Chain A
Amino acid sequence: MTDKTDITLNINGRDHAISVESRRTLADAIREECGQTGTHIGCEHGVCGACTVLVNGEPVRSCLMFAQQAAGKPIRTVEGLANGDEMHPMQRAFMENHGLQCGFCTPGFLMLAVGVLEKEPDITDEDLVDVLSSNLCRCTGYQNIIKAVRAAAIEMRQS
């Protein structure tokens, strides 16, 4: 189990040359080998979605993907959402609509919502709720998350 392979993870446009065991999950590699701790681990069995990142533009649960499977593919995490000091509309919408409380699930929700809206900017409100039901939040009761994502969707469509 301890044989390691050299791979490169491209996270938010920056290459990280790392050496990982085959069993290393993408979530662990992002957090530990690459030091990007904004991606959180909530269940390690693919249910809660806290670890959601974008790989090739698709939302994936990074606890269910091996680091080696993501080698060479563009990976986006919460740290890459803002453009310098300018926050992404989704980040602003979460703050304006109180879409977070403890903030632990938030990076996963942000990446899920951004990933889906970039692919389907005109997704219906109903379908959006279905998408958002992929992730768990224990604090907000979801109403303000839904509100935030709908608000961000409007802004993303306009920009």
Chain B
Amino acid sequence: MTAHTKGSGTTWVGRSIRRVEDPALVTGQGRFTADLPAVHWVRFVRSSVAAGTIQRINAPDGAGIVTSADLKALKPIRPMLSKFNYVAVGQPILADGVVRFTGEAIAAVYAPGKDQAEDLADQVEVEISETTALIDSMDALADGAPLVHGEAKGNVIVEGRIKTPGFDDVWTTAHKVLRVDGRSRRQNATPMEARAGHAVYDASTGRVTLTCTTQMPHLTRTAVCDIIGMPESDLRVIAPDVGGGFGQKMSLAPEYVLLVWLARKLRSSVAWTEDRRENLIASFHSRDQHVELEGAFDANGKLLALSADIVANVGAYSCFPTTCGVEPLMALAELPGPYDVRAYHCLSRGVLTHTCPMAPYRGVSRPVITFVLERLMDKAAAAFGLEPTEIRRRNLIDKFPYTSATGLVFDDGSYKETMEMAVSAIDLPAFRKRQQTARDKGRYLGIGFATFSERTGYGSPAFAARGMAISPGFETVHLTIDPSGFVEARIGASPHGQGLRTSLAQIIADEIGIDPEFIKVVHGDTDRSPYGWGTFASRSLVLSGGASLLAAQKIRAKLIKMASHMLEAAPEDITLKSGAAHVIGTDRSITIATIARAAYHQVHIFKGEIEPGMTETGSYDPSGTFSNACHVAIVEVDIDTGRVEVEKFLVAEDAGLIINPMIADGQVHGGVAQGIGNALLEEIIYDETGNILSSTLADFLPPTAREIPEIELHHIETLTGNSITKAKGLGEGGAIGAPAAVISAINDALSSFGVSIDEMPATPQRIRAALRSSGKLT
């Protein structure tokens, strides 16, 4: 076989090459967790009530059943934060006497088939003595409210405060203070593949292989082993093809711990495939936040100070590894967004309730705080008689590095430039004319702008600042050219749809002069890949890409050194391209495959000057960077029904150097679609007793092709010094900006009614209620 003989002639980075991931996925050859056969199928018996004490669990005689009584040796899931008055509550793997949310697992049953396991679960009788359920965070904060966990007084589990020096003085000098009472309802990330796990015990080695739908295979291994009390060398975790995650598959599923424990107990294979109802009621939720925000402006519309009270409903337990502090604390640190404001006062609390635990979801807090902050800017624009873009123009940061009021350092970006690009591309003056013409005919069009930052690619110091016992950050890549001349990059990141195998191959290809098709990227297997943190927080391209580049630079140096020896030329005269080392200005060359083989089989010719083999390691742990974008939505609101149609969506974004434009655009498209869903459709609804009313995809509504308009994209590539590949992340930006832009456009459409929609999703019911309350409907 001949390796890497194709010429490229130009760089691989920057080209929309096809994804190496695709051929298997379009032919039905993808391998997902639920595709694996098992001896035993597991079904969880889940609580039908939100709060109560378990009186009795009865199973048919001889049934395979596990309850908390069997799991006394297991530790609870108890992620730690050392700051922010965090209370380290524990979550038992199966409810231990007390249930704290509808859907909490009480028992696990197992049977030879999925259907039989479901039948068996139906026959398990559980008697629960119900207690008062706290569903809304405001009820949980009320004086005398019962406690979800006795150790968390007032149901506050985490609390962050910031007040910049001299805040009060600035506040009192303000010309105008504007206020937004923003509310984001609860959402579910809803990957199309719900969660699934499969654990198999190997009697010959005593090891267990857990295959599961995780975004963090190594951390899953660490957590499961800590909880069960087993060596990590006895557990292999595999994340095979994973059908989307969006953060939901980043947090540890207690179900996976049970599967590993049960596989060891039964010395066999066990599997669980979550159904959609379980996913909607009992996986993880997010974005349930109440943000009261006030902004103080001077007479020219310059923002002087922000004051915020943030309450995040974090549900019944704290997710591992980030803890439930992830939403309120990100809101605390990042609320001022891309605006230059020096005075900041914020109280941000995470509040326990009898609801499904909160976990990160694409963008984490930023879709919420961006929507609320952008409402404030729009209200300020109206109050000062300015276009929404003009108030932003006066406040966006434009000098870098910029240190925010909360101490975040913004590297080079293009906040104003992307907005101007968007304003020009959408032709704002022309839209205003069209809007007026439509209004005269009784049609309500609106335009909304959202400008925001997307903090990405941050390493361990940024996570450590949160006080996490586990500080994710670095990524490591082991890069090998094997004796066959093919390249393998083993990475700690764990992509699940992002096309990272393709993008990393492009980065490596340029450095070592071998075409991407000969570079295999291996991930999602703790036996094969180096310890890493997985894929989340728009980090993988920056961190794993950076580590890939560092490893590739070492391989490059070694190849050049060896080629210099083999071609008898000076190292500086050698170039690597198209699979060979060439002596510049001559026709002398040697294939990289030949050099690689010599590194294994002909080491003696280098007289001890090189280490045998061709494997190098790169680790990257950067300080972090900020992407930025301006989103524009044009909507039409039907005032008779409250229905909103998004007519057009435009994104002008800057994520640094784009490695693969096709993949980058796809990430933005997907994020925007989720953001539109968040803004208009998606809502997990509990009744007052804690029963979930949105437990099917006919009730919880991800958008379809009908609801998503054409998305027009424009790019600026600001080359930051904060990322060695010059690439910033962009996985979350689409989802961060879109809700704000859509809500803003709805408000613009309805401006003549004097209403303010400050709640998402802006469902037809909410829009009609606001219109009715305006008294201006004819």
Say whether A and B bind each other: yes
Question: What residues make up the interface of A, taking CB atoms closer than 8 Å to B?
Answer: 1, 21, 23-24, 28, 31, 36-45, 47-48, 50, 77-79, 81-82, 87, 91, 94-96, 98, 100-107, 110, 129-130, 132-146
A109 smallest CB distance to B (angstroms): 10
18 contacts between A and B (CB under 8 A): A37-B32, A41-B34, A47-B698, A48-B697, A78-B27, A78-B28, A91-B27, A100-B25, A101-B497, A101-B670, A102-B191, A102-B243, A102-B497, A130-B706, A136-B702, A140-B670, A141-B669, A146-B705
What is the CB-to-nearest-CB distance from A151 to chain B, in angstroms, rounded to a whole number?
14
The 8 A CB mask of B658-695 against A (1 = contact, 0 = none) is 00001101100111111000000000000000000000
A110 vs B707: C-alpha distance when bound (angstroms): 20
The reply to whether B32 and A104 form a contact with Cβ atoms under 8 Å apart is yes
Known contacts A104-B193, A141-B673: A38-B705 contact under CB 8 Å: no
Rounded to whole angstroms, the CA-CA distance of A41 and B35 in the bound complex is 10
Given contacts A103-B25, A104-B192, contact A43 B708 (CB under 8 A): no
Do A144 and B666 have beta carbons less than 8 Å apart? yes
Tell me whether B173 is interfacial, beta carbon within 8 Å: no
Known: A23-B115, A98-B666. A138 touches B705 (CB 8 A): no
Residue of A42, A79, A136, A141 with highest tally of chain B CB at under 10 A:
A141
Interface stretch (choices B16-24, B78-86, B401-409, B443-451): B16-24
A136 to B698, CA, bound (A): 12
Residues of B contacting A91 with CB < 8 Å? 26-27
The 8 Å CB contact of A77, one of B22, B28, B29, B696, is: B28
Q: Which residues of A contact B697 (CB under 8 A)?
A: 43, 45, 47-48, 136
Bound CA–CA A108/B25 (angstroms)? 11
Q: Would you give the shortest CB distance from B709 to chain A, in whole angstroms?
A: 9
Please indicate the chain B residues that have their CB under 8 angstroms from the CB of A78 in the complex.
Answer: 26-28
Q: Which residues on B sit within 8 Å (CB–CB) of A1?
A: 115, 119
Q: How far is the CA of A56 from the CA of B28 in the complex (A)?
A: 20
Inter-subunit contact A96/B18 (CB<8 Å): yes
User: Would you list which residues of chain B between 5 and 61 have a CB under 8 Å from chain A?
Assistant: 18-19, 21-32, 34-35
Provided the pairs A47-B698, A141-B711 are in contact, do residues A37 and B662 lie with their beta carbons within 8 angstroms? no
Name the one of B24, B244, B662, B696 contacting A98, with C-beta atoms under 8 angstroms: B662
B115 with A21: CB separation less than 8 A: yes
Q: What CA separation (Å) do A101 and B22 show in the bound complex?
A: 8
How far is B696's CA from A43's CA once the two chains are assembled, in angstroms?
A: 8
**Judging by beta carbons under 8 Å apart, are B670 and A138 in contact?**
yes
Contacts of A31 in B (CB 8 A): 35
Could you tell me the distance between the alpha carbons of A96 and B673 in the complex, rounded to whole angstroms?
Answer: 21
B715: interface (CB < 8 Å) = no
Q: How far is the CA of A91 from the CA of B662 in the complex (A)?
A: 17
A103 with B27: in contact, given A138-B670, A140-B669 (CB under 8 Å)? no
Q: How far is the CB of A149 from the nearest CB of chain B, in Å?
A: 10
Least Cβ–Cβ distance between A120 and chain B, in angstroms: 17
A107 CA to B276 CA, complexed, in Å: 18
A142 in contact with B708 (CB, 8 Å): yes
Contacts of A77 in B (CB 8 A): 28
A143 to B19: give the CA distance in the assembly, Å: 17
Q: Which residues of B contact A107 (CB under 8 A)?
A: 28
- Taken together as a complex, chains A and B put the C-alpha atoms of A142 and B674 apart, in Å, by 11
Q: Is B125 an interface residue (CB 8 A)?
A: no
A38-B29, A91-B27, A141-B670 are known contacts. Are A102 and B244 too (CB-CB below 8 A)? Answer: yes
**Nearest residue, chain B, Cβ from A36:** B28
Q: Is B180 an interface residue (CB 8 A)?
A: no
Nearest CB in chain B to that of A41: its residue? B34
In the bound assembly, the distance between CA atoms of A45 and B695 in angstroms comes to 11
Give the one of B35, B119, B666 with max A CB within 10 A: B666
Q: Are B28 and A144 in contact (CB under 8 A)?
A: no
Tell me if B710 is interfacial: C-beta within 8 Å of chain A: yes
Interface pair A132/B27, CB less than 8 Å apart: no
Q: Which residues of B contact A24 (CB under 8 A)?
A: 115
> Given the complex of chains A and B, what is the CA–CA distance between A43 and B277 in angstroms?
8
Instruction: A105 to B241: give the CA distance in the assembly, Å.
Output: 12
Q: Does B130 contact A (CB under 8 A)?
A: no
Question: CB within 8 A of B19: which of A36, A47, A98, A146?
Answer: A98
**Closest chain A residue, CB of each to CB of B667:** A101
| A-contact bits for B112-147, CB 8 A (1 contact / 0 none) | 001100010000000000000000000000000000
A residues less than 8 Å from B276 (CB atoms): 42-45, 48
Please measure, in the bound complex, the distance between the C-alpha atom of A9 and the C-alpha atom of B412, giving whole angstroms: 61
User: In the docked arrangement, what's the CA distance between A73 and B276, Å?
Assistant: 29
Q: Is the CB of B26 within 8 A of A95?
A: yes
State whether A101 touches B192 (Cβ < 8 A): no
Interface residue from A21, A130, A139, A144 paired with B244 (Cβ < 8 Å): A139
Query: With A36-B28, A95-B18 given, is the CB distance from A102 to B119 under 8 Å?
Result: no
Whether A40 contacts B673 by the Cβ 8 Å rule is no
Assess the A102–B698 pair: CB atoms within 8 A. no
Considering only CB atoms, which chain B residue lies closest to A134 in the complex?
Answer: B704
**Residue B190 CB within 8 A of the other chain:** yes
The answer to whether B192 touches A137 (Cβ under 8 A) is yes
B658 CB to nearest chain A CB (Å):
14
Query: Please, which residues of chain B bring their CB within 8 A of the CB of A28?
Result: 114
Point out the residue from A79, A101, A129 that lies within 8 Å of B28, measured CB to CB: A79
Q: Say whether A138 contacts B35, CB under 8 Å.
A: no
Of B31, B276, B704, most A-chain CB atoms within 10 Å = B704
Chain A proximity of B671: nearest CB distance (Å): 8
- Judged by a CB distance under 8 angstroms, whether B499 is at the interface is yes
Whose C-beta in chain A lies nearest to the C-beta of B661?
Answer: A98
| B498: interface (CB < 8 Å) | yes
* CB–CB A103/B241 < 8 A: yes
Q: Whole-angstrom distance between the alpha carbons of A43 and B706 in the complex?
A: 20
The reply to whether A102 and B672 contact each other, CB–CB distance below 8 Å, is: no
A140 to B666, alpha carbons, bound, how many Å? 6
Q: Decide: A40 and B708 in contact? CB cutoff 8 A.
A: no
Say whether B192 contacts A102, CB under 8 Å: yes
Beyond the given pairs A21-B115, A143-B669, 15 more chain A to chain B contacts, judged by CB atoms under 8 angstroms and listed by A's residue number, are A37-B31, A40-B193, A78-B27, A79-B27, A81-B28, A91-B27, A95-B23, A101-B499, A103-B26, A104-B30, A104-B244, A107-B28, A129-B706, A133-B706, A140-B673
User: How far apart sit A82 and B698, CA to CA, in the bound complex (Å)?
Assistant: 33
In B158-203, which residues have CB < 8 Å from any A CB? 190-194
